[in-house]
Amino acid sequence: MANSELRAFKPIGDYALPPMPTEQTAKRWWRKLRHALGSDVERIIIGAGALKCSEVEQLDAVAPSPAFGPVQDELQSTLQDWLADEAPSGWLKLVVLPPCDDAGVLENWATEQGHSTLEAPSRADLLSGDKKISLELAEAFSGESRVLVIPRLERWFIRHRDGLTHLRALLDALDGLEQHCVIGCNSWAWAFVQKAVGAERILPTGMTFQSFDEPRLRRWLAGLASAASGTPVTFRHSRTGQDVFKTVDDSDEGAEPISNYMKSLAAESYGIPWVAWHVWRQSLRDAPGDDENRESLDELAVNDGETLWVVEPDELILPETQEGMALLILHAILIHGELTISELARVLPSADHMNVVAALSTRGFVTRRDGRIRCVPAAYPAIRRALSNAGFPSDRL
Amino acid sequence: MDATEGTQKAAKLLNDLQDINFTEIVIVIVGAWLVTLAANKLFPILAEKVPSKLRLYFLGAVPIIRVLVLVIAISWTIPIVFNITFQNFLIISGAASVAIGFALKDYASSLIAGFVAIFERPYRPGDWVQIQDDYGEVMSVGMRAIRIRTAEDNTISVPHDLIWNNNISNSNDGARTLMCIADFYLLPDHDAEQVRSALRDVALTSSYLEYEKPVHVMLNETPFGTHYRVKAYPFDLRDQFSFISDLTVRGKRAIAAHGGREASAVVSASTD
């Protein structure tokens, strides 16, 4: 993305959610009703089941990482004047980011800019109530580095009565610090720490990136695809056959797209680039191998160099009989970023969650890697909707 | 002469039989019954499907719809049957007063109390109320009585006329949350400041906690020990019992970890 596209971070509370196209919401409800009535004979170009899943290499070519796009550059652009100031009005900056940032915006930024990173204690240490933490922090803050980065404040606590000691000690150490310090925190964790320890009394007002609305998302994803070498790729919607990047007058500036797909994707992903990136990659399909379907598609895509088909993601459904426990698990994982099974047992009200975690994994809500359970970024929209509908305390960007 | 005049007056109280459209009356009654039945069945189902913040609005709409349908049905059918004049109104009122006074006093009192309750709102569907010795969720607000489901899954019918002379304690008053209290009784020999801080952290780290409401830990000395009350709000009032259980289980662990001893075991042992 060009430097002119970089947008400065804004205070949290100013985040503008991309709107969902009205007709898209109506169409979705109409499709659900038809499906419920058993009348699912909508005219579509090709069903998702007839298409092949794209190879990972192909996906990496048309939608390469990092999933956070220009957000890291925007962070540097926002902070550069403050970082250069030898006597700023405030030494602390709080960056609040939506969850599921697996790629690590702040960690990457700190590494690329050569800033020191303060590592969080292990989860076992968090529950030990170790009083020596204050001494260790004092040593860390008296170091030589000019800029200190604490990339994930959510790694400094565990939601347990014994799990807040390190967080409180960290906040005490930050209070009165005279060194540039950038603290990152996921938005769900930020809502929790404000309630649990009153973190907003010590840390400044948080800031976050500007949402990726339809034009911005379309330009970013189109830019990723066009940067791929080889034959140009056309991305067609599997229901309508429309080119999802094409605009009415083929121009880019302020032009209306002919397909609503990007508007829907921007709204569905709440303007979060890494969520949109994961959903986008999951939605890409290759043409079918069988001749019958291929012939009719070839007619439509006769002028395309190469065609990839964009399907709508499957709707994720929570386990019916254990919906309450499933939501408690998802809420806990969003707050902490990732948890092991034993850590989940410490933060949940009851221990009968093993089979529910398995069900959530099977249904695509969570993933398990190295024993740690995380929310699947592409599932975040469904998770957020379910938690909001059930009345759970939510994040606020 | 007087008998003839009285007969004529009585005849004019009702419209002539051939002028009364019985089909229309039946249609209005059946229609009103169907609409009320549909609202009674459909709205509670919808209340469980819609987002949590809309649930109580859907439940609260049912008695209002029922009253509206009843008023419309009565207003529609009365002119069909009765010859509405001021004199006829006085005759009917007089007869109704006698009937109500002797036979239907309590029923009428409950009906009127039910009508008043819709406007004063001492309770509404979805509220958790204490009426005399019964505490439970208001499942439905009928014409004569409300139905409450208790925590023991008992369904209790409470006539509306209790509102005239009894206190109605409403725990949530239409809100999505209510205050939950977990009580602990400790022997005096412990560090109260540490225990109070630990109990506060227990509440702040509960999975059920509502962030927009405060958390308080109160304590006072009793002859048997120190009484702690942890007061906090769950984000969904339907989780109130799970929330109190969670506070109690984790609170007991916190108390034990800070050297507190619960008073109840010692009291029961000393009475043996």
**Chains A–B, number of C-beta pairs less than 8 Å apart:** 54
Q: Which of B176, B204, B207 sits opposite A196 (nearest CB)?
A: B204
Q: Which of A164, A191, A331 sits opposite B201 (nearest CB)?
A: A164
For residue range B99-121, what is the model confidence (pLDDT) as tens digits? 777 778 888 899 899 999 988 99
ipTM of the complex: 0.89
A contact residues 169-228, partner B, Cβ 8 Å cutoff: 191-192, 194-196
Q: Which of B50, B235, B249 sits opposite A393 (nearest CB)?
A: B235
Cβ distance of B207 and A191 shorter than 8 Å: no
Above 70 in pLDDT, residue A110? Answer: yes
Distance CA A56, CA A276 (A): 17
For residue range A215-250, what is the model confidence (pLDDT) as tens digits? 999 999 999 988 876 778 889 898 888 899 988 876
What is the rounded average pLDDT of the residues A248-270?
A: 83
Type of residue at A212: F
Above 60 in pLDDT, residue A291? Answer: no
Q: Give how far A329 is from chain B: nearest CA, Å.
A: 9
Best probe of the B interface among A131, A157, A161, by most B CBs < 10 A, is A161
Best probe of the A interface among B199, B207, B243, by most A CBs < 10 A, is B207
User: pLDDT confidence of B270, banded at 50, 70, 90?
Assistant: very low
Which pTM was predicted?
Answer: 0.86
* Per-residue pLDDT at A130: 66
What is the rounded average pLDDT of the residues B151-159?
A: 95
Contact with chain B for residue A342, Cβ under 8 A: no
Cβ distance of B204 and A347 shorter than 8 Å: no
What is the rounded average pLDDT of the residues A343-367?
A: 91
Q: Give how far B163 is from chain A: nearest CA, Å.
A: 32
Give the per-residue SS3 of chain A.
Answer: CCHHHCCCCEECCCCCCCCCCHHHHHHHHHHHHHHHCCCCCCCCCCCHHHCEECCHHHHHHHCCCCCCCCHHHHHHHHHHHHHHCCCCCCCEEEEEECCCCCCCHHHHHHHHHCCEECCCCCHHHHCCCCCCHHHHHHHHHCCCCCEEEECCHHHHCCCCCCCCHHHHHHHHHHCCCCCEEEEEEEHHHHHHHHHHHCHHHCCCCCEECCCCCHHHHHHHHHHHHHCCCCCCEEEEECCCCCECCCECCCCCCCCCECCCHHHHHHHHCCCCHHHHHHHHHHHEEECCCCHHHHHHHHHHCCCCCEEEEECCCCCCCCCCCCHHHHHHHHHHHHHHCCECHHHHHHHCCCCCCHHHHHHHHHCCCEEEECCEEEECHHHHHHHHHHHHHCCCCCCCC
For residue range B56-78, what is the model confidence (pLDDT) as tens digits? 999 989 999 998 999 999 888 88
Cβ distance of A393 and B245 shorter than 8 Å: no
Best probe of the A interface among B194, B195, B197, B205, by most A CBs < 10 A, is B205
